[in-house]
Amino acid sequence: MLARLGLVRSALAALLAAALTACESTPVAPAPEPITGLTQGAWTWVPFPDTACQDGSPTGLAVSPGSGPDLVLFLNGGGACWDYLSCEVLSLATRGPFGEAEFEGLRSGVLPGSILDRELPGNPLADATFVFVPYCTGDVHVGDRVTTYTGAGGPATWRHVGRNNLDAFLRRVAITWPAPRRLVVSGSSAGGFGALLEYDAIRSRWPASAGFLLDDSGPPVGEGSISTALVSAWREAWGASALLDPLCDGGCRSGFGAALTSVAERWPQDRLAIVASLNDAVVSGYFEVREADLEADLRAMASDVVAPLPNARVFLVPGERHALLTSPADYTQGVPLLGWISAGLGGDPSWASELPPEGP
């Protein structure tokens, strides 16, 4: 009996020693560090070695501290792809590298006149701190998968890791600006979809702040608006089911209306703004629907998805133009777009959805 106890004790000691050795040899991830070396009102590129574009090259963030207490996370757009045809033949998504040089091209050519332009007259976000999140993964910022596509030109590996990149960014942004008065999560095109689908994950980093979603040209159309096969292809290629299934309670199989409803219910004190063109040529192309059918889907979204939510509104304009926040001063629908955004941000109780009248 004593001999058996001795063997048991020896075995337990060996197991304990092995466990301690494993703990000692497992590397501990370093604590995230605040972003430093910034100048108020100026843009600074911040490299993140632990991120990746589709080609494996690292990317980073562009940051411009403001004089006010608000924080704006803007997710950039740039298409999407999900198979060899869309990624390699048609090149429907922005590729890497995306570093400081690529941001400088946008800063001088695209940001002037946009919602990230402090000099834009009437910009309600002019005093906020801007955090520009680049896009080079082809997955509307929700991917968590490395996929190899095969075609006539040979295999092509795409790192659809937009969600992993975003997580790396948020770890440092959250400790750099731990308590903004208001958090604005925005984006255009692929970034608009990303802002909506990642809103809960982003918002959870700053639960004590006021929240505002500004989704431009990433419309959360209801179920049945997009081909189920197409959405399934996106989910599979990007590894997005882990995000979408709990967010949409198993929905989001042929539309993203359930995602907006979920966000509205999880953050009932936040305001959620959807901005889009009724006949957006880019969105209709990706949804594989006619522009006239997209208008019907967007009107149905406004009435069936947005209207029942007490904290969500839409601003829809006629025409085919895409990414309204690149030139928000150009748009008026009942009220100027910038004034509408300002009313939403300011908690104006008269803030209402704005749509063009139906008919020829």
Q: What is the pLDDT of residue 30?
A: 72
Whole-number Å distance between alpha carbons of 309 and 305: 7
Please say if the pLDDT value at position 360 is more than 80. Answer: no
Reported confidence tier of residue 52, pLDDT bands at 50, 70, 90: very high
Mean pLDDT of the 169-192 span: 98
Q: What class has domain 44-345?
A: alpha beta
Q: Which two tokens stand for residue 34?
A: 């605040």
Q: What is the pLDDT of residue 13?
A: 47
Bridge partners, residue 313, by sequence = 273
Mean pLDDT of the 105-120 span: 96
Of 17-31, 233-247, 332-346, least confident by mean pLDDT is 17-31
Mean pLDDT of the 24-38 span: 75
Reported confidence tier of residue 28, pLDDT bands at 50, 70, 90: low
Please say if the pLDDT value at position 4 is more than 80. Answer: no
Total number of residues shown for the chain: 360
Mean pLDDT of the 305-324 span: 97
Q: Closest Cα partner for 341 from 116, 69, 174, 40?
A: 116
Are 221 and 255 contacting, i.e. CB atoms less than 8 angstroms apart? yes
Q: What pLDDT digit, counting tens, does each position of 14-26 carry? A: 444 444 444 444 4
Reported confidence tier of residue 177, pLDDT bands at 50, 70, 90: very high
Reported confidence tier of residue 251, pLDDT bands at 50, 70, 90: confident
Q: What is the DSSP letter of 130?
A: E
Mean pLDDT of the 217-232 span: 96
Q: What pLDDT digit, counting tens, does each position of 136-165 carry? A: 999 999 999 999 999 999 999 999 999 999
Domains in the chain: boundaries: 44-345
Q: What is the pLDDT of residue 20?
A: 43
Mean pLDDT of the 325-353 span: 97
Q: Average pLDDT over the chain, rounded to whole?
A: 92
Q: What is the pLDDT of residue 326?
A: 97
What kind and span of H or E run contains 63? strand 59-64
Q: Which two tokens stand for residue 96?
A: 């890497």
Q: Which two tokens stand for residue 183?
A: 């958090």
Mean pLDDT of the 291-298 span: 95
Q: What is the pLDDT of residue 307?
A: 98
Strand segments (E) across 266-329: 271-277, 312-317
pTM > 0.85: yes
Radius of gyration of the chain (CA): 23
Q: Closest Cα partner for 306 from 273, 279, 330?
A: 273
Q: Which two tokens stand for residue 228?
A: 């189920």
Please say if the pLDDT value at position 3 is more than 70. Answer: no
Q: What is the pLDDT of residue 29?
A: 59
Reported confidence tier of residue 249, pLDDT bands at 50, 70, 90: confident
Are 257 and 301 contacting, i.e. CB atoms less than 8 angstroms apart? yes
